[in-house]
Amino acid sequence: MSEPNRRSQPGSGRDQLILFALGIGGVLVLVGVYLAFRVGSEWDGVNADTRENPVKAFFGIGSGSVLWPGSATLLLVGAAVLLTAAAVLISIPVRRASKKRTRVDRFSRYMGQGSALAAYTDARALRGKAEKFGGTWTGISVGRTVVGNREFISGLEEVYMEIAGPRTGKSTSRCIPAIVNAVGPVLSTSNKRDLVDSTRDIRAEKGRVWVFDPQQIAMEPVTWWWNPLAYIVPEPLDPRYREALTTADVRAAKLASHFANGSKADGAKGDAFFEPKGENLVKSFLLAAALDQRSIIDAYMWTTEISVTEVVDILARHGFTTDAASVRGNDNAAPDQRSGVFETAAKMLACLQYAQIRPWITGAGPYDSRPRFDAHEFVRTTGTLYSLSREGAGTASTLVTALTAEVAEAAEAYATEQGGRLRVPMVCVLDEAANVCLWRELPQLYSHYGSRGILLMTILQAWSQGVRVWGKEGMDQLWSAANVKVYGGGDDEDDFLGRLSRLIGNYDKQTSTVTHSRQGRSTSFQLQRQAIMEIGDLRALPRGRAVVLASGAPATMVRTIPWMETEHADAIAASVRAHDPGAQKTLTDLEAEAAKVRAEQQSWERTWA
């Protein structure tokens, strides 16, 4: 750190400091008075024999034997006026800065600052890295450091993770600015329409906008469609068709895993016998439907059939004899076993039964004029894909996960074509990831994607949400893999906050003990190691502040910047007015929230207690 991580006990040494300050002030006053006397005497042509001797001058003025020049009074008055004006001018920015402080800002003095954060705050170095990768965009802005007011950037090789509770400004201060500022393709997931409404017009100026909205969260019309089975086997005329056939079963297994993971209740482990068999059956049904160029709805319908010899024939005809044998075995199993496996598969594919979802994932025949989304084409553009879903009956979260994973895999393939990483980075804002994007493999892929130019932002409301989706080990792996970790407040979990407190670190607290005896008063000093931020401090982190843990740097505190304070404020507000049915209320609520944050950022006297 740029200064010792040490502070004193409140009040220790205060008396000595006051006496020292009074002494210095007294000396300065005497010097000022003498200078005024000397200059005034010269101007008035008096005291020629005394003005060179300050001791004689002071004693003479005191005894009345030396004349006090009138010009000296004018000089002292003028100096007082100038000093008062200077004090006022200096106090204005100081008071403004003070009003922006919060009750937790005092901790930032003992956290990372200055050169310790250069990898993330040095604008010249960040621009140099961007130029090395062939561009000018430096990365995703996290906020401005409380100490130093320097912009903290999650760069072009970093992957980002944030834990912040509801109503802490995640969308306003991080997600929306990240989407707006991205120079390449953007993928976004959410369970609300705010990201779409706030950014779609700005993103439309950079490329095509796709809104996947099967649950009608944003009331988006079905103007395009996406075929999930094209991920397994593309159309025969596609140049990738023949190569895709050789590994179709692997991709079918990946797609099946999304359906299996999305069908589990919160924290449920599933039946150890029926879950694996059901997932394997789903894989075979998806593979058969893709090989035969059918609709994904057929995969669901097969789970309800009395016999699935048709599936066996399709798989065998295309050379997938192992899958054919597996389906035949399940089809011919004992009635109770067959029923259990097929019911498990039907549960995994249950989202395909809903009428409002089907138009988004199936074509309407040869005369369907709607464009079909192609992930491999998308990652070569500067377009934007918004995927929306929410929990509950009819949830499309499984499809959102599958679409997200397909786009990320297409980006990885394109990065390989470009020499290992995307020349223009793709930003993936996975807001509400634990509710919307239940991607089982995400922890294993996280650090790898950063080196590929695929900048992931995974945002959760609580640590326990991640444990629910990825398990304890998976969540630990995800957290460890993230280069930039952000805590935005609003969490109430002691285990996580205790872990965060330890990661932020300790400081040396200097305490003093004053004793009185016949010989007089004596003061002794001791050092104690103490957490910079205790659990209670983290629990009470106010809006407008975030703690950032970045690889190779000490923890630091930043002031988050809502989009209303950015250069894109007018354009974002215009996009909200154009698309949000309750635009006026939305903007009014946002301004009221921002005003409340400003009110909470009360002035704080610099008592680093």
Q: Is 267 exposed, middle or buried (0-12, 13-18, 19+ CB in 10 A)?
A: exposed
Place of tokens 């299996």: 260
Predicted confidence band of residue 365 (pLDDT cuts 50, 70, 90): confident
Sign (positive or negative) of CA dihedral 547, 539, 505, 499? negative
In a domain, 596, yes or no: no
pLDDT of residue 153: 97
d(CA 429, CA 438): 14
Q: Which of 312, 327, 361 is the last residue of a domain?
A: 361
Of 229-243, 254-268, 400-414, highest mean pLDDT: 400-414
pLDDT at residue 602, rounded to an integer: 47
Contact 495, 507 (CB under 8 A): no
Least confident of 268-282, 366-380, 511-525: 511-525
Query: Is the same domain home to 87 and 130?
Result: no
If asked whether residues 173 and 33 sit together in one domain, one would say: no
CATH number reported for the structural domain that contains residue 138 in this entry: 3.40.50
Q: Which residues of 317-330 are buried (b: 16+ CB within 10 A; e: fewer)?
A: ebebeebbebbbeb
Same domain? 413 vs 551: yes
- Encoded amino acid at 220, one letter: E
User: Per-residue DSSP letters for 328-372?
Assistant: HHHHTS-HHHHHHHHHHHHHHTGGGG-TTTHHHHS---TT--S-B
Which has the minimum average pLDDT: 2-11, 84-93, 449-458?
A: 2-11
The one-letter amino acid at 4: P
Same domain, 213 and 244: no
Provide the mean pLDDT of the chain.
Answer: 88
| CA-wise closest residue to 172 among 539, 582, 465, 576 | 576
Kind of pairing, strands 209-212 and 384-388?
Answer: parallel
Give the per-residue SS3 of 3-22.
Answer: CCCEEECCCCCHHHHHHHHH
User: Could you give the angle at which helices 54-63 and 14-44 cross, rounded to 10 degrees?
Assistant: 80
Residue 429: in which H helix or E strand, if any? strand 426-430
Quote the domain boundaries for residue 330: 228-361
Confidence of residue 95 (pLDDT cuts 50, 70, 90): low
* Domain contains 520: no
**356 shares its domain with 393:** no
pLDDT at 101: 54
Q: In Å, how far from its chain's centre is CA 169?
A: 10
Q: Write down the pLDDT at residue 607.
A: 35
Is residue 505 over pLDDT 70?
yes
Instruction: Look at residue 596 in the predicted model and tell me its pLDDT.
Output: 73
Cβ atoms < 10 Å from Cβ of 60: 19
Residues 196 and 291 in one domain: no
Helix 309-317 with 274-291: angle, nearest 10 deg? 60
Can you tell me whether residue 607 is helix, strand or coil?
A: coil
Query: pLDDT above 70 covers what percent of the chain?
Result: 89
Same domain, 575 and 435: yes
How many independent structural domains does the chain possess?
3
Give the model's pLDDT for residue 10. Answer: 41
pLDDT mean over 407-421: 96
**Residue 487: helix, strand or coil by DSSP?**
strand
**Residue 136, helix vs strand vs coil:** coil
Position 553 pLDDT exceeds 80: yes
Q: What global pTM score does this model have?
A: 0.82
Give Cα separations from 350 to 276, 355, 357 (angstroms).
17, 12, 11
Check residue 601 and give its pLDDT: 59
3-class SS of residue 535? helix
Task: Please state the φ and ψ torsions of residue 17, each to the nearest 5 degrees.
Answer: -65, -40
Question: Among residues 361, 389, 415, which one ends one of the domains?
Answer: 361
Q: Is the model's pLDDT at 606 over the cut of 50? A: no
The pLDDT of 153-167, averaged and rounded, is: 94
What pLDDT does residue 608 have?
A: 34
Say which residue the tokens 């990201």 belong to: 195
- Residue 394, in any domain of the structure: yes
Task: Say if residue 389 is in the same domain as residue 483.
Answer: yes
Distance CA 99, CA 102 (A): 8
Cα distance between residue 458 and residue 192, in whole Å: 16
What is the average pLDDT across 415-423?
Answer: 94
By the 8 A CB rule, do 418 and 412 touch? Answer: no
- Tell me whether residue 141 is in a domain: yes
In a domain, 606, yes or no: no
Measured N-to-C along each axis, helices 335-348 and 321-331 cross at an angle, to the nearest 10 degrees, of 120
* Residue 67: pLDDT band with limits 50, 70, 90: confident
Res 605 pLDDT > 70: no
Q: Is 158 left (phi over 0), alpha (psi -120 to 50) or beta?
A: beta
97-141 per-position pLDDT tens digit: 444 556 788 899 999 999 999 999 999 999 998 888 878 899 999
Measure the CA–CA gap between 435 and 397, rounded to whole angstroms: 7
For residue 417, is it left (φ>0), alpha (ψ between -120 and 50) or beta?
Answer: alpha
Average pLDDT over every residue of 86-92: 71
Q: Angle of helix 274-291 relative to helix 335-348, nearest 10 degrees?
A: 70
The number of C-alpha atoms within 13 Å of 176 and in the hemisphere containing its C-beta is 31
Q: Is 602 domain-assigned?
A: no
pLDDT (0 to 100) of residue 87: 74
Q: 469 and 484: one domain? A: yes
pLDDT band at 91 (very low <50, low <70, confident <90, very high): low
- Of 70, 99, 128, at which residue does a domain stop? 99
Q: Vertex 450, ends 449 and 453: CA angle to 5°? A: 90
CA distance 547 to 559: 9
Q: Is residue 206 scored above 80 in pLDDT?
A: yes
pLDDT tops 90 at residue 184 = yes
Q: What is the 3-state secondary structure (H, E, C) of 140-195?
A: EEEEEECCCCCEEEECCCCCEEEECCCCCCHHHHHHHHHHHHCCCCEEEEECCCHH
* Same domain (yes/no): 339, 399: no
Answer yes or no: do 219 and 233 share one domain. no
Whether residues 567 and 484 share a domain: the answer is yes
Strand ranges across the sheet with 140-145: 151-154, 140-145, 556-559, 545-550, 484-487, 160-163, 454-460, 426-430, 186-190, 384-388, 209-212
| Whether pLDDT at 476 is above 50 | yes
Structure tokens at 106: 């005092």
Considering the domain boundaries, does residue 585 fall inside one?
Answer: no
pLDDT at 269: 66
- Residue-wise pLDDT for 574-603, tens only, equals 999 999 999 999 999 888 877 777 666 544
Q: Write the pLDDT tens digit of every residue in 424-456.
A: 999 999 999 999 998 999 999 998 998 999 999
Asked, for residue 502, whether it belongs to a domain, the answer is no
> What is the 8-class DSSP label of residue 566?
S
